[in-house]
Amino acid sequence: MTFFMRSRSALIRSLVLALPVLCALEQPLAAATFGTVVPIGGQASDLALDESRRVLYIANFNGNRVDVMSLDNNAITRSIQVTAQPSAIALSRDNKYLVIGHYGNFEAARNAVTVLNLEDNSRRVFGVGSSPLAVAFTNQNLALVVTSTEFLLFDPMSGQTHTIDTVAGLQGKTLPIVAPANSQVIVRAAVAASQDGLWLFGLTDKFLFRYDVRLGQLGITSYTSSPEMGPRTVSVSTTGTYYLAGWGLFDRQGTLVAQFPNPSGKLDIGSHALDLERGLIYAQMTQADPAATSQTGTSTPVSSTTPAPAAATDSSGPILQVVAADNLAVLDRLQLRENLTGRSVLNSARDVLYSISASGVTIFQVGQLAKAPRIRSEQREVLFQSSSCTREQQTKDIVISNPSGGRVAFSLTTSDPAIIVTPDSGVTPAVVHITVNPGAFLNAKGTSAGYIDIHASGAVNLPDRIRVLVNNREPDQRGLIQNIPGKLVDILADPVRSRFLILRQDTDEVLVFDKNQRQIAALRTGNTPTQMAITADLRYLLVGNDNSNIASVFDLDTLQPSTPVRFPVGHYPRSIAVSGNAILASVRSGSGVHKIDRIDMASRTAFPLPNLGVYTNDVTLNTGLAASPDGSSLLIAMSDGRVLLYDANYDTFVAARKDFDKLSGAIAASSYDFFIVDNHVLNSSLVPVGTLNNGAGTSSGFLFVDQMGFRSNSLGASQAGMVERVNLSQLQGILPTRITESPLTSSTDGGFTRTLAVLGNREGLISLTTSGFTVLPWNYDAASAPPRIDRVVNAADLSDNIAPGSLVTIFGSQLSPAPGLAGDPLTADALVQSCLTVNGSLAPVIFSSPDKINAQIPYNAAGSTSLILRTPGGASDAFRVRVVPGAPAVFRTGTAGAESGIPTIVRAANNELVTVSNPIHRGDDLVIYATGLGRTNPEVPVGSPAPYEPLAYAVETPRITLGGVALPVAFAGLTPGLIGVYQVNVLVPRSVPTGFDIPLRIEQSTAASTVPVRVVP
């Protein structure tokens, strides 16, 4: 082969290898978007899908025409000139007529309805008295035309019109709700029908309405409030059981099941389509500036001290959200080419979505979404933990992938230079190493958070950020962290079932854990769940939702959803508490006057209390409720400093005070007439009787257990947390103890927090903390003295022979805060908190108990060597041992029947230990297990199991004799799969002497070890 041929071949190989990367990089550098825009040369105001003719009719408001787009090639194939300003269109159910409403802008002469006969292309124009705003067909092939003043039923065949009601008449009818402002005119409307045509739902600028076709009843279901119900569009499920109107998801009765959080209410931007069969909603929803809308939607009572934004820095462009149809939890976020501006319709196969957009129509192949290039990290959070024992650089892996399976180029940026990603760019799927040097976070004695942003111009979605948590702890900090990604806002123990429940707000779920901290279920709540409560019969779990007019209800035995509690229109339950008499909820009210509602579990409804005893039912947005464990009282605390006490025995409010300018933080009620708000202690008249130590940070949680209290405070977002027992009679904290990371505290806009719960049958405490939750044993504050080392010997024969790599046993006192073997989480944490250094290097601890530790001497140890043990109680004095290159010692760990301490020498003939009854025979093969054979080739990292391939041979082969006769050594080195355990394989010659106590001697370097064995012919 010539040089040229070789070069050409190499070039081809290189191109083949590089092709996938080149293909990935070939994707446009501008951000990819989802959907295809079809401009119409005007402003689309409505559309109607005619699948029988394979066309989409688009009302071109400014062009005074209806554009017809072919569904086959997504091109405008023709335009139908119509009367001026077509504002609404609808296709009759027999696909024969296209009804077009013409918005006359209050010029009566221009208000009209055009009927296009699609079969013979004839048209008729009918004048109407007021401006047509929206139109939809019933199953009777009649068009419901919503005008600015009337609701008309229009027969396209005959042209006859029947007035169902007027706007004024409809508002004047007796309703269970009161109209905020009466008016005879509406200026904006949208209406849509269920697929069966039996239910029509509509939205106007003043109210929402429902038309029951079978009963011919038109009625208002609710009035719109601030913000306006934008976007001005309605989507209805196939059978009309649910519909979306503006930013709300409603059931047929008009209950707001969920709403998009923090909506801007913009009327002219956004759209949505409901695919209940697939459990999905496609929506573009603009959000308001949170700072400007604290009273309108989504402020939450609890937030992480280091909140993780839901996604990377939002693109400035429009976003199509794919959300769950039951609670609007966001599943995916797709980038749009341009804003959607009105109605969206799905085809009958529900795989193509047509939406009015700024240029005309945008077509989304939602059925092909699974094949669209997307990007995500399979791990949303990564937690690094370090302590005074583990300051080394740590690396963890994440996987960046394309859920659709294709290759997408990406790059990664970090928020903190101490977080290093390798590689920082690539093509999916890719494993990325995240490396963190804990030393960079030494000033934080808790958990610091950083972020990794994923950028992929070829992906149509906006990926979530990856939160990188780095926990640094001192030896005295207690608790075992369990990382739970997301925004956790409440915790509640279910003592009957030995479970605890955590509310995860970002995914709208209740996470159910057993007492072993294993998650056993995830229950889907309404949107933006805020607080939980368990009914007095301990059967049901109630969950308040800040963006739903319902409280979710779950059966705690079956962990299945039960009928939710419906709240009055505009009432969003935020905090719920159960007494022995009443179940009360503080609700955010759309009217701006927030209330206390009472829940009736029998009817699963709630109603506002007419008053709070002698007090007006007017509470602040951030109002927290806490029930005493015996259900005798409910404490209500408000962010403006007011507190109220509901007495279940008298079913009334018996106390109300305002001794503070503002309140937030922990809230709790005891059965012994003590109440806690923030750091304040109140008596049964809610008179402040004392303050718990204010200098201990921000209050987070308070938990009453009998007459004792537990209190958790945050010392700073990235600092340690603090937990202490509280003696209420003396108002004193007992043994304040630092915990591994900060407990969660209320967000800056106030709010009340519950972050502590009892684990199991008082086996420990669970605290919501920065990374998830932290498990504390019940005796977390037990005193711990510094460790003391008395003796260090090799773990084989307990002699002083110690070599590099030897397993050693350390005898002493206070060596470990908890006995046990590795595997148990709390013991594992104790092991994490304890470390042994040998000449300053970490030595792996294999077993830990208060008076004994087994560990491995590092392979680089030599000569006079210092051992120091660190535990949560402190550091031991240095203990010096002499480490020699080779110090073999045969393990005396063998057992045979009742016998123990037998040298671990195994006859290969029967794979049993050599004993008096299993003597060595001449010609036997033996395996001698020992430690202390020193360094190996290849070297094996300390604390790591020895490899199977290649075998790790002892650098210096030991000399073995039996009764003075040398035994040929077949292998001497580390036993594969074990840490620090060596084996020597030898053959017994026929010349060895026989007898009971024949000395088997292992010599290496200057050390030797001898064990007596029985030898027979």
Cβ closer to another protein: 577 or 926?
Answer: 926
The answer to whether the beta carbons of residues 200 and 136 sit under 8 Å apart is yes
Cβ closer to another protein: 788 or 892?
Answer: 892
Beta-strand relationship, 488-494 and 480-483: unpaired
- The residues with which 566 forms a beta bridge, in sequence order, are 550, 605
Place of tokens 């955010």: 588
CB neighbourhood size of 495 (10 A): 16
Cβ closer to another protein: 348 or 910?
Answer: 910
d(CA 582, CA 646): 9
Cβ closer to another protein: 314 or 912?
Answer: 912
Choosing from 391, 524, 959, 1014, the residue that interacts with another protein (CB under 8 A) is 1014
Cβ closer to another protein: 150 or 924?
Answer: 924
d(CA 829, CA 814): 16
Q: Which of 813, 809, 865 is nearest to 840 (CA)?
A: 865
**In which order are the strands placed within the sheet that holds 280-284?**
271-275, 280-284, 319-324, 330-335
Stretch that binds another protein, among 683-691, 710-718, 893-901, 1003-1011 (CB under 8 A): 893-901
Stretch that binds another protein, among 21-29, 374-382, 650-658, 889-897 (CB under 8 A): 889-897
d(CA 873, CA 870): 8
Binding-site size for another protein (CB under 8 A) equals 20
Cβ closer to another protein: 423 or 995?
Answer: 995
Cβ closer to another protein: 799 or 915?
Answer: 915
Give me the least distance between CB of 891 and another protein, in Å please.
Answer: 14
CA distances from residue 884 to 800, 943, 971 in whole angstroms, order as listed: 10, 19, 21
Give me the least distance between CB of 961 and another protein, in Å please.
Answer: 21
The answer to whether the beta carbons of residues 56 and 47 sit under 8 Å apart is yes
Q: Which of the residues 942 through 1001 are near another protein (CB under 8 A)?
A: 996-997
- Kind plus residue range of the DSSP H or E element containing 6: helix 3-25
- The residues with which 192 forms a beta bridge, in sequence order, are 201
Give me the least distance between CB of 913 and another protein, in Å please.
Answer: 4
Give me the least distance between CB of 795 and another protein, in Å please.
Answer: 21
Choosing from 417, 610, 695, 1017, the residue that interacts with another protein (CB under 8 A) is 1017
Give me the least distance between CB of 994 and another protein, in Å please.
Answer: 9
d(CA 150, CA 130): 8
Binding mask 895-924 for another protein (x = CB under 8 A): -xx-x--x-------x-xxxxxxxx-x---
Q: What are phi and psi of 317, to 5 degrees?
A: -80, 170
Say which amino acid occupies 618. D
Cβ closer to another protein: 824 or 912?
Answer: 912
Give me the least distance between CB of 1003 and another protein, in Å please.
Answer: 26
925 binds another protein (CB under 8 A): no
d(CA 594, CA 835): 54
Give me the least distance between CB of 912 and another protein, in Å please.
Answer: 4
DSSP 8-state code for residue 108: G
- The residues with which 248 forms a beta bridge, in sequence order, are 245, 259
d(CA 355, CA 270): 10
Binding mask 662-701 for another protein (x = CB under 8 A): ----------------------------------------
Give me the least distance between CB of 970 and another protein, in Å please.
Answer: 22
Cβ closer to another protein: 457 or 918?
Answer: 918
Cβ closer to another protein: 258 or 902?
Answer: 902
Cβ closer to another protein: 524 or 921?
Answer: 921
Stretch that binds another protein, among 384-392, 891-899, 949-957, 981-989 (CB under 8 A): 891-899
Cβ closer to another protein: 474 or 997?
Answer: 997
Choosing from 568, 787, 894, 903, the residue that interacts with another protein (CB under 8 A) is 894
d(CA 971, CA 974): 9
Residues 6 or more apart in contact with residue 326 via CB below 8 angstroms: 257, 258, 279, 524
Give me the least distance between CB of 396 and another protein, in Å please.
Answer: 45
Give me the least distance between CB of 941 and another protein, in Å please.
Answer: 34
CB-based burial, 561-598: b 16+ in 10 Å, e otherwise: ebebbbbbbbbbbbbbbbbebbbbbbbbbbeeebbbbb
Cβ closer to another protein: 96 or 922?
Answer: 922
The answer to whether the beta carbons of residues 767 and 743 sit under 8 Å apart is yes
Give me the least distance between CB of 991 and another protein, in Å please.
Answer: 18
d(CA 476, CA 473): 8
**In which order are the strands placed within the sheet that holds 199-204?**
189-193, 199-204, 207-212, 217-223
Cβ closer to another protein: 914 or 960?
Answer: 914
The tally of CA atoms less than 13 A away on the side-chain side of residue 1016 is: 7
Give me the least distance between CB of 995 and another protein, in Å please.
Answer: 10
HEC secondary structure over 449-499: EEEEEEECCCCCECCCCEEEEEEEECCCCECEEEECCCCEEEEEEEHHHCE
The answer to whether the beta carbons of residues 737 and 721 sit under 8 Å apart is no
The answer to whether the beta carbons of residues 531 and 545 sit under 8 Å apart is no
Give me the least distance between CB of 820 and another protein, in Å please.
Answer: 30
Q: Which of the residues 547 through 586 are near another protein (CB under 8 A)?
A: none
Give me the least distance between CB of 982 and another protein, in Å please.
Answer: 21
Where on the chain is the footprint of another protein (CB under 8 A)?
A: 894, 896-897, 899, 902, 910, 912-919, 921, 996-997, 1014, 1016-1017
